[in-house]
Structure formats: structure tokens, C-alpha cells
Amino acid sequence: MNIYVGNLSYNMTEDGLKTMFSEFGKIETVKIIMDRFTGKAKGFGFIEMPDNSEADQAIKALNGKFIDGRNIKVNPASPGGKRSKNTFRRKRY
């Protein structure tokens, strides 16, 4: 299951996130999203856990937990997808 983790401290590392979730089971991947211009964390990331029951346990235990001065948000990730180039384009008048 792919898990969204939001409202992370900007100091959170992928290793720190992996450690936090590893107590609930096996972790396949950890990714903190970085700003491509500044190279700094954007405050959210994703965890991939192969066992859905372990992922559900992690979500229930960690959602709303106070970590590094913030209440993190943890829930199943919504399937994303490629956005159309025109999705955010505004009409000019």
C-alpha cells in the first residue's frame, strides 16, 4: 500500500521517516518530496509498505501524531497520474 505522509517537519529525512514506519512492518520505499529549485523538503512524502494490514496499523497509529513540532497526516495515497499541461493554465482576456 502506498501511504501519504503530510505536514512533516522540513528537517525530516527519509531515514527518519523509514525508522518511524519500520516498527509496523517492512518498508519497500520512502520518498520525501523536494522542491526542485531550492532542494529543500516540501513537507510531505510517501511510504510504500507491501503488507496492507501493516500499512493500516501504521496509518492508525501515526495519523495525527505530534512529531518534530507538527501533527503529521497519514493516510492511503490517492492514485495520482500525469496532469495535463493545461490543468493549471488560466485564460487570458
- When pLDDT is averaged across residues 21-40 and rounded to a whole number, the result is 95
Report the candidate in 56, 61, 67, 76 with the shortest Cα–Cα distance to residue 5. Answer: 76
SS3 content of the chain, % helix, strand, coil (to 5): 20, 30, 50
**pLDDT tens per residue across span 64-81:** 999 999 999 999 998 865
What is residue 78's predicted lDDT score, i.e. its pLDDT?
87
Mean pLDDT of the chain: 90
Match domain 2-76 to its CATH number in 3.40.50.261, 3.30.70.330, 3.90.110.10, 1.20.1440.120: 3.30.70.330
The residues spanned by each domain of the chain are: 2-76
